[in-house]
Chains A and B, each alone.
Chain A
Amino acid sequence: MSTRLPQVAGEWVERDQPLEFSFEGRRYGGYQGDNITSALLANGVDLLGRSFKYHRPRSVLSAAGHDANLVMQSGGRSHQPNLRADTTLLQAGMQLTPVNVQGSLASDRGSLLDRLSALLPVGFYYKAFHSKRLFPFWEALIRRYGGLGQIDITAPRRFTAKRYDFCDVLVVGAGAAGLSAALAAADAGARVVLVDENLRIGGSSVFDRGGEAPDPAVQALIRNVERHPGIRIRTLTLACGYYTDHWIALIEGARMTKLRARAVVITTGAIEQPAVFRNNDLPGIMLGSAAQRLIYRHAIRPFDRVVVLAGNDAAYRTALDLLGHGISIVGIVDLRQSIPSSPALQALSAAQVPLHAGHCIQEALGGLRVEGAVIAPFRDGEADVSKRFLLPCNGIVMSTGWAPAGGLLYQAGATMRYDDTLGQFIPDLLPEGTYAAGRVNGVYGGNRMADGRCAGLAAAAHAGIGQPSDNTANLREGTAQSHPWPIVSHAGGKNFVDFDEDLQLKDFANAVQEGFDNIELLKRYTTCGMGPSQGKHSNMNAIRILARLRGESPGQVGTTTARPFIEPVPLAHLGGRGFNAERETPVHALHAAAGAIFMPAGNWQRPEYYAVDGMSREAAIRAEALAVRSGVGLIDVGTLGKIEIIGPDAGAFLERVYTGRFANMRPGTTRYGVMLDEAAVVIDDGVVARLSEQCFYFTTTTSGSAGVYRELGRLNTLWQMNCGIVNLTGHCAAFNLAGPKSREVLQTLTGSELGQQAFPYLAAREIDIAGMPARVLRIGFVGELGFEIHVPAEHACTLWQALLQAGAAAGIRPFGVEAQRLLRLEKGHLIIGQDTDGLTNPDEAGVAWAVKMDKPFFVGQRSLTIIRKQAPVQQLAGFSLDGEQAKKVRECHLVIAEGQMAGRVTSVAYSPTLKCYVGLAMLRTDLTAIGTSFTIRVTDGKLVAARVVATPFYDAEGLRQKTVAAEGLAA
């Protein structure tokens, strides 16, 4: 049973700050500085989780954040799902329960699956889903068992602020190499950020002691780094993603920081790898570095009688650390036939620790905890079971090898190669500005500081600070740090390679036999490395197994692709605060005060309609439309793009970007313009006003304004014409005063003559309105006498209020986007992007009249010439609907002819003026003749009859907007 040790030098727990918490309903005590794992172990709780697939009992493996089976749910006020017990700091009052448990940890009903493991072979998921008939069955079953933890959907939303940060040199990993790199770069004058995922800096140098006191050189290094003004230390911070131009995603407790460095030093070290033998997952079996972490960081003695499985020299240092803290070593079992002499070996011999060279653990025995190790001679990767013997113990420590923590290096674009001497992948080619040092670079032992210093200086020099080191010596030791085959087969299986997904040795052999013999295929078929720890403990052994099965070296097999993020990250961190830039017109608040219900239009907020007490949405919209038809209405059209083009070539420029003719416009007039792209697709439309010989002012669609301005700028740069383009979209407000009484209302605010002679239809004037300089266009998008008034945004509120006040006697009513859409539909005016799509040409949209093909050039002209040589396919046409079913028709419903799709509805609405439903549809050309009947399939699948009618549906002659009839009506 595990216990808390007396105070250990350098321990992280603060014994004067006790904390209380509960686990599975029982109360326990821990200390500030404990993580969940260490606090439970200190209380003698060794069974900490269940495995994902077979629900096997599990406990500490790495104590380094990769124990994917030790996942906890924290309840109560601080509800948090999926906490990793081995890295989550203990907090007072935590109410912890293990996830993936049915019942209790000690008595998990799900453990029945362990006995059914023969029915869950490799590729089980693929095989289960192969049958279409059984798909729903398996889906329901797997969904029930899949997933970890529970999210409290009633928890209040907490915004997680993201943050940017910057430095010259980022050092990831604060072990001996990282500390040296940071110090060297900072001494050279660089602004350094040093990040480490742990509570304190020092890395493995602090806990890999070989039974001795903390290394004074490392302690001095830590002090120097902590005191250096040029180094910002960020502990409990995980560098999780490496992006182009040295952007690094740093995950901290409360947020994600996007840090940009000029150069990056990766000193992330190496991850100790488990050996593979039967029942290697029993609680009490852990990595040597895990035992060292528990002892030196948290003062935990995880067992008292232990077998050490060795495959490298690190095992002997670990054994001394165990021995020094009262743990009896039953035996050291070394996979190697000959063991190099070392001080640690000599010390252990002196302590009469039994050594079994050339042996392996063939099997661990036990139930909820390891009780013994079956030892057998081991030669050429095979155990000799005829000479087995048992070593009773309550703990097994595995120190057989390492894998580089190289996720960030892979993401940075580094090329790695397998070094046969070290038995490890090491960096071969590093991208510019990225450096590696320490164990991840294949440098173990005393050279790590020198390696870090070289990398730090090189990184600072890359950032333009100081000079790189002239030390170019190879600092890698010539001895293997990893055993090439720490894997023991067993007829009974349960020798796990991947602890996240419960993958056994035989699963790999079966997968290869089934043809999945490429490392990427093997990963996906077996799901090796696809669990929460992302293969940090399994990929290296998987590569070794595949290499042996294919008769190749690990280097030839290669590695899988490492992608961000290298650790699971809370979605809230990725979401951040959520910036969603919205635009408002200057009179937004006045709309709100008038009861406007807003809708998004592009990135603008626009009044959809103005709510009226006791009136439905539809009724309010229709009332607004009728007000425009019968009296006067006012709409805010400030969201339209507003662009000015000035200069001698302004007219010629417009001739090239629009399909129409503009060079011959007289000052003071307006003209409709259609804009195409190079493929002759309609991309925008608007009204062009010529204000003077060299100045044009034109509008674009709301959603197209930014894109049109950008494109015009690009074209002007390309064509080098003598004109300037000014975007006034946000700087100008615009209102459309429309209706038969609009002139009389506007006339009260200006001394300028607005009569038909002075200000005819399609005229443009620069006049004063309510004492403000304004540009006024007499246009009629809604089909009534109308004036579009443009003023500087700062004067918008004053003007809006003045117009409403002036129109009060005439019953003026503000109207919203929906009423405008209805009014323009009655006129058959199209909306680009609604009645057209990304393929519609001007002929199909019914605006061929605005295309002047006899011009020398306009954008899209060449494509349109080609298109016109082919038979037309579709055409926008008006239609009307009768009967009760008409109200079921919606935009985007399909037109059906002879059982086939023959078009789609682009606009449809009930017209209170015409007292029927009318709409526009993009129809197959053979259906567009006036009077043709067709059907529309509505949401419930029924077909509704429609008939093609001529447009405009309302005021076909356009007399109302041209004023003759309107003046009569107004009078």
Chain B
Amino acid sequence: MRTSALHSIHQEHSAAIAGWRETGGMVLPARYQQEADAAVLGLGDASWLRRSGIKGPAAARHLESLGYPTPAQANRWLALPGPGGVIARLGLTEYLLEDDGHACQALAASTPPGGAYPVLRSDTALVLSGSVAPEVLLQTCSIDFTTISPERGELVLTAMTGVPVLVIPLLAGPVPLYRIWCDPSYGPYLYRTLLSIVEELGGGPIGVDQLAPLLAASTQSAAHSTTTSNNSGQPGRVHIPGEA
């Protein structure tokens, strides 16, 4: 059984949790008694998705050999098949894959060539949602997210509340979402700090039942919007060989 880095916080909040759900080998809050409206301001734990990384000069070649085209530039991302799946290019030669297991397992099972090095990723994955989410970002991060283009598939590597994070804004879906990843050892601190600000601003935690469909819809919407906004087809949704 996998355990979210936020497991202890979820346990602390168990009285406020209306139900639990096992997903991706992880037990997470399904719903809260007073669940926040994700469209206004919510914070959720999306750690159930699986993650895998690869880096090195041959990393892109290896991913492409597995059928995963890579973003053409650093600090860009593409959608992977499956709900919420992404492949993010974190630098010149480093990639993060996250999905429900399909791509990550394929990568883990593969034998990288020389010059491509697998990277264990146990990141804490959070989702900040809603129309008030930008205010949370302004209080915690010195990046101007209004200049980050979701249409171009841009991602941000920055610090939030002093914690190094990766952020992907998804603004094309039904609810604006910001997907946030951090080192799992910082996960509890980041979650607690964000939640305190979210609650101060009238929001609250959201469970998997509300979060999972939003995450899937927003990621795919972003993928479609990026594809249609860019004639080069880059970035956009990844097409797996053999997939319809």
Give the B-binding residues of A (Cβ under 8 A).
161-166, 258, 260, 577, 579-586, 588-589, 592, 604, 638, 644, 646-648, 722, 724, 726, 728-732, 792-798
Cβ distance A394 to chain B, nearest Cβ, rounded Å: 51
Q: What are the interface flags for B188-212 relative to A under an 8 Å C-beta threshold, 1 for contact and 0 otherwise?
A: 1110010001001000000000000
Expressed in whole angstroms, the Cα–Cα distance for A580 and B186 within the complex equals 11
- Residue from B11, B115, B138 within 8 A of A165 (CB atoms): B138
Asked if B224 is at the interface of the complex by the 8 Å CB criterion, the answer is no
Inter-chain contacts of A586 with B (CB < 8 A): 3, 5, 184-185
Is the Cβ of A583 less than 8 Å from the Cβ of B186? yes
B135 and chain A: residue at smallest CB distance: A163
Asked if B173 is at the interface of the complex by the 8 Å CB criterion, the answer is no
Is the Cβ of B138 less than 8 Å from the Cβ of A647? no
Is the Cβ of B115 less than 8 Å from the Cβ of A726? no
Give the A-binding residues of B (Cβ under 8 A).
1-5, 7-8, 11, 26, 55-56, 114-115, 117, 119-123, 138-142, 144, 146-147, 161-163, 183-190, 193, 197, 200
- Residue from B55, B142, B147, B200 within 8 A of A258 (CB atoms): B142
For this complex, 6 residue pairs linking A to B, each with C-beta atoms less than 8 Å apart, are: A166-B146, A584-B187, A584-B189, A592-B8, A646-B56, A794-B26
Is the Cβ of B120 less than 8 Å from the Cβ of A732? yes
Expressed in whole angstroms, the Cα–Cα distance for A245 and B113 within the complex equals 44
Given A585-B185, A731-B122, 20 additional A-B pairs, CB 8 A: A164-B141, A164-B142, A164-B144, A165-B138, A579-B140, A581-B162, A581-B186, A584-B188, A586-B184, A588-B8, A589-B7, A638-B185, A648-B114, A724-B55, A726-B55, A726-B120, A730-B185, A731-B184, A793-B122, A797-B7
Main secondary structure of the interface of A (DSSP, over half): mixed
Expressed in whole angstroms, the Cα–Cα distance for A724 and B187 within the complex equals 26
Given that A161-B139, A589-B8, A647-B117 are contacting pairs, would A792 and B162 also be in contact in the complex, using a CB cutoff of 8 Å? no
Expressed in whole angstroms, the Cα–Cα distance for A724 and B8 within the complex equals 34
Is the Cβ of B120 less than 8 Å from the Cβ of A730? no
Inter-chain contacts of B197 with A (CB < 8 A): 161, 577
Tell which of A260, A792, A794 has the most Cβ of chain B within 10 Å: A794
- Residue from B4, B114, B115, B163 within 8 A of A581 (CB atoms): B163
Inter-chain contacts of A589 with B (CB < 8 A): 7-8, 11
Is the Cβ of A580 less than 8 Å from the Cβ of B122? no
Expressed in whole angstroms, the Cα–Cα distance for A410 and B140 within the complex equals 30
Inter-chain contacts of A580 with B (CB < 8 A): 162
B56 and chain A: residue at smallest CB distance: A724
Inter-chain contacts of A646 with B (CB < 8 A): 56, 117
Expressed in whole angstroms, the Cα–Cα distance for A697 and B147 within the complex equals 40
Is the Cβ of B120 less than 8 Å from the Cβ of A731? yes
Cβ distance B109 to chain A, nearest Cβ, rounded Å: 13
Is the Cβ of A798 less than 8 Å from the Cβ of B1? yes
Is the Cβ of B144 less than 8 Å from the Cβ of A260? yes
Expressed in whole angstroms, the Cα–Cα distance for A770 and B161 within the complex equals 36
Given that A260-B144, A579-B162, A731-B183 are contacting pairs, would A647 and B55 also be in contact in the complex, using a CB cutoff of 8 Å? no
Is the Cβ of B3 less than 8 Å from the Cβ of A582? no
Tell which of A581, A589, A592, A646 has the most Cβ of chain B within 10 Å: A581
Is the Cβ of A584 less than 8 Å from the Cβ of B185? yes
Expressed in whole angstroms, the Cα–Cα distance for A478 and B123 within the complex equals 66
Inter-chain contacts of A797 with B (CB < 8 A): 3, 7
Is the Cβ of B2 less than 8 Å from the Cβ of A794? yes
Cβ distance B46 to chain A, nearest Cβ, rounded Å: 14
Expressed in whole angstroms, the Cα–Cα distance for A571 and B66 within the complex equals 56
- Residue from A164, A647, A728, A796 within 8 A of B120 (CB atoms): A728
Cβ distance A358 to chain B, nearest Cβ, rounded Å: 58
- Residue from B117, B120, B141 within 8 A of A792 (CB atoms): B120
Inter-chain contacts of B55 with A (CB < 8 A): 724, 726
Is the Cβ of B3 less than 8 Å from the Cβ of A796? yes
Inter-chain contacts of B183 with A (CB < 8 A): 583, 729-731
Cβ distance A531 to chain B, nearest Cβ, rounded Å: 34
Expressed in whole angstroms, the Cα–Cα distance for A648 and B5 within the complex equals 34
Inter-chain contacts of B7 with A (CB < 8 A): 589, 797
Is the Cβ of A793 less than 8 Å from the Cβ of B5? yes
Expressed in whole angstroms, the Cα–Cα distance for A728 and B139 within the complex equals 29
Inter-chain contacts of B138 with A (CB < 8 A): 163-165
Is the Cβ of B139 less than 8 Å from the Cβ of A793? no
A706 and chain B: residue at smallest CB distance: B164
B192 and chain A: residue at smallest CB distance: A582
Is the Cβ of B5 less than 8 Å from the Cβ of A162? no
Expressed in whole angstroms, the Cα–Cα distance for A203 and B122 within the complex equals 56
Inter-chain contacts of A796 with B (CB < 8 A): 3
Expressed in whole angstroms, the Cα–Cα distance for A581 and B193 within the complex equals 9
Given that A724-B55, A731-B120 are contacting pairs, would A647 and B115 also be in contact in the complex, using a CB cutoff of 8 Å? yes
Inter-chain contacts of B3 with A (CB < 8 A): 586, 794-798
Inter-chain contacts of A579 with B (CB < 8 A): 140, 161-162, 193
Tell which of A260, A577, A604, A730 has the most Cβ of chain B within 10 Å: A730
A580 and chain B: residue at smallest CB distance: B162
Inter-chain contacts of B162 with A (CB < 8 A): 579-581
Cβ distance B188 to chain A, nearest Cβ, rounded Å: 5
Expressed in whole angstroms, the Cα–Cα distance for A796 and B5 within the complex equals 10
Given that A581-B189, A647-B114, A797-B3 are contacting pairs, would A730 and B122 also be in contact in the complex, using a CB cutoff of 8 Å? yes
A722 and chain B: residue at smallest CB distance: B115
Inter-chain contacts of A162 with B (CB < 8 A): 139
Is the Cβ of A588 less than 8 Å from the Cβ of B188? yes
Expressed in whole angstroms, the Cα–Cα distance for A171 and B187 within the complex equals 39
Inter-chain contacts of A730 with B (CB < 8 A): 122, 183-186
Expressed in whole angstroms, the Cα–Cα distance for A796 and B117 within the complex equals 23
Is the Cβ of A582 less than 8 Å from the Cβ of B142? no
Given that A260-B144, A724-B117 are contacting pairs, would A604 and B56 also be in contact in the complex, using a CB cutoff of 8 Å? no
Inter-chain contacts of B117 with A (CB < 8 A): 644, 646-647, 724, 726
Expressed in whole angstroms, the Cα–Cα distance for A730 and B123 within the complex equals 8
Is the Cβ of A731 less than 8 Å from the Cβ of B121? yes
Cβ distance A342 to chain B, nearest Cβ, rounded Å: 49
Inter-chain contacts of B200 with A (CB < 8 A): 161
Inter-chain contacts of A724 with B (CB < 8 A): 55-56, 115, 117
Inter-chain contacts of A793 with B (CB < 8 A): 5, 122, 184-185
Expressed in whole angstroms, the Cα–Cα distance for A581 and B5 within the complex equals 15
Inter-chain contacts of B8 with A (CB < 8 A): 588-589, 592
Cβ distance B62 to chain A, nearest Cβ, rounded Å: 12
A166 and chain B: residue at smallest CB distance: B144
Given that A589-B7, A731-B121, A731-B122 are contacting pairs, would A582 and B189 also be in contact in the complex, using a CB cutoff of 8 Å? yes
Inter-chain contacts of B163 with A (CB < 8 A): 581
Expressed in whole angstroms, the Cα–Cα distance for A638 and B185 within the complex equals 10
Inter-chain contacts of B188 with A (CB < 8 A): 584, 588
Expressed in whole angstroms, the Cα–Cα distance for A589 and B12 within the complex equals 10
Inter-chain contacts of A584 with B (CB < 8 A): 5, 185, 187-189
- 4 closest A-B pairs (Cβ-Cβ)? A589-B8, A730-B183, A730-B185, A581-B162
A642 and chain B: residue at smallest CB distance: B120
Cβ distance B43 to chain A, nearest Cβ, rounded Å: 16
Is the Cβ of B184 less than 8 Å from the Cβ of A577? no
Expressed in whole angstroms, the Cα–Cα distance for A166 and B145 within the complex equals 9
Is the Cβ of A583 less than 8 Å from the Cβ of B120? no
Expressed in whole angstroms, the Cα–Cα distance for A588 and B119 within the complex equals 24
Inter-chain contacts of B11 with A (CB < 8 A): 589
A586 and chain B: residue at smallest CB distance: B5
Expressed in whole angstroms, the Cα–Cα distance for A589 and B184 within the complex equals 14
A161 and chain B: residue at smallest CB distance: B139
Inter-chain contacts of A165 with B (CB < 8 A): 138
Expressed in whole angstroms, the Cα–Cα distance for A599 and B123 within the complex equals 24
Expressed in whole angstroms, the Cα–Cα distance for A729 and B139 within the complex equals 28
Inter-chain contacts of B187 with A (CB < 8 A): 584
Is the Cβ of A604 less than 8 Å from the Cβ of B185? yes
A793 and chain B: residue at smallest CB distance: B122
Cβ distance A585 to chain B, nearest Cβ, rounded Å: 7
Is the Cβ of B114 less than 8 Å from the Cβ of A577? no
Expressed in whole angstroms, the Cα–Cα distance for A198 and B7 within the complex equals 49
Is the Cβ of B122 less than 8 Å from the Cβ of A792? yes
Cβ distance A580 to chain B, nearest Cβ, rounded Å: 7
Cβ distance B11 to chain A, nearest Cβ, rounded Å: 7
